[in-house]
């Protein structure tokens, strides 16, 4: 049976890379986009050039009626969804929390949290053996920010991705007995259009592996979780972050002479 995979936020970055890799694995791919139809069509052409079926579907994943319509369109055009990649997300305004409006907060939570929950709900209705489905896989795309916190830049974004991590933990147990595997991939800093270019340039060398990720490297983990090779993997949070577990600024001392670096690190520890 051909896998039918819906990728939210599939017109760019990690979503587009996942669509291309799914096509290479023989999936029929539904590419969701919110506003950039041209980019989505480009990805569709690439998927079809790889010999896979594809469609594009416009929907704002912050709007419930859009989500329900999106799944219905996929049902009609490709068949019942067997894989969902909850990838759509927004960062929101960068800066401190005390500079954000209630509207800023609501919009990020609508897309990153509420949208993720609602898409998972619609997928479960179709996949669950309890509802007559044949099972499937849900991959929630989180972020290393959920662990790092993103102070002074995006605590709202980080918190929204922490909610995604918690969703995976609970939901994976809720539906595992119904043939559905739920997992998370948490990308580190990745060369997409979400991070500011200067952040990619300045922080990349401070990551233990020495560079930022390519979107295709994140897609590899996502597509593995969608595959039968991950048949016993549920409730996992796979960190694809180049070994980064602390904010990069903590590693800036590497370039200092050894004695000076040791004194600086000792002073930092004394202040904790």
- Residue 206 vs residue 220, higher pLDDT: 220
pLDDT attached to residue 195: 80
241 domain residue, yes or no: yes
255 confidence band (pLDDT: 50, 70, 90): very low
Q: Which of 29-38, 64-73, 222-231, 237-246 has the lowest average pLDDT? A: 237-246
Considering only CA atoms, which of 51, 55, 56 is closest in space to residue 26?
51
Residue pair 127/177 in contact by the 8 Å Cβ criterion? no
Domain of 44, in residue numbers: 4-247
263 domain residue, yes or no: no
61 domain residue, yes or no: yes
Q: How far apart are CA 63 and CA 22, in angstroms?
A: 26
- Residue whose pair of structure tokens reads 């579907």 in the numeric block: 57
pLDDT in tens, 146-202: 999 989 889 999 999 999 999 999 999 999 999 999 999 999 999 888 888 878 888
202 domain residue, yes or no: yes
260 domain residue, yes or no: no
271 confidence band (pLDDT: 50, 70, 90): low
262 domain residue, yes or no: no
242 domain residue, yes or no: yes
Assign residue 222 the CATH number of its domain: 3.40.50.720
- Residue whose pair of structure tokens reads 């996502």 in the numeric block: 222
252 confidence band (pLDDT: 50, 70, 90): very low
Does 251 have pLDDT greater than 50? no
Q: Show which residues are catalytic.
A: 157
What's the total number of domains in the chain? 1
State pTM to two decimals.
0.88
């Amino acid at each position: 049976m051909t896998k039918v995979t819906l990728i939210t936020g599939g017109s760019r970055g990690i979503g587009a890379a996942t669509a291309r890799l799914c096509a290479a694995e023989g999936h029929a791919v539904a590419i969701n986009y919110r506003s950039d139809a041209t980019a989505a069509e480009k990805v569709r052409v690439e998927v079809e050039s790889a010999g896979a079926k594809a469609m594009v579907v416009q929907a704002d994943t912050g709007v419930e009626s859009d989500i329900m319509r999106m799944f219905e369109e996929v049902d009609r055009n490709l068949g019942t969804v067997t894989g969902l990649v909850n990838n759509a997300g927004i960062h929101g305004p960068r800066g401190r929390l005390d500079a954000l409006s209630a509207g800023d907060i609501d919009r990020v939570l609508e897309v990153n949290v509420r949208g993720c929950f609602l898409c998972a709900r619609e997928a479960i209705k179709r996949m669950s053996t309890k509802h007559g489905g044949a099972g499937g896989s849900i991959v929630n795309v989180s972020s290393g920010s959920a662990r790092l916190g993103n102070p002074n830049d995006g605590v709202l974004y980080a918190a929204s991705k922490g909610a995604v991590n918690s969703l995976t933990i609970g939901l994976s147990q809720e539906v595992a007995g119904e043939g559905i595997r739920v997992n998370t991939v948490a990308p580190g800093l990745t060369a997409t259009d979400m991070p500011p270019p200067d952040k990619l340039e300045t922080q990349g060398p401070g990551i233990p592996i020495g560079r930022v990720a390519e979107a295709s490297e994140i897609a590899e983990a996502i597509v593995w979780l969608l595959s039968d090779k991950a048949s016993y993997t549920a409730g996992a949070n796979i960190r694809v972050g180049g070994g980064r577990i602390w904010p990069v600024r903590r590693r800036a001392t590497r370039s200092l002479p050894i004695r000076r670096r040791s004194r600086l690190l000792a002073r930092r520890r004394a202040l904790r």
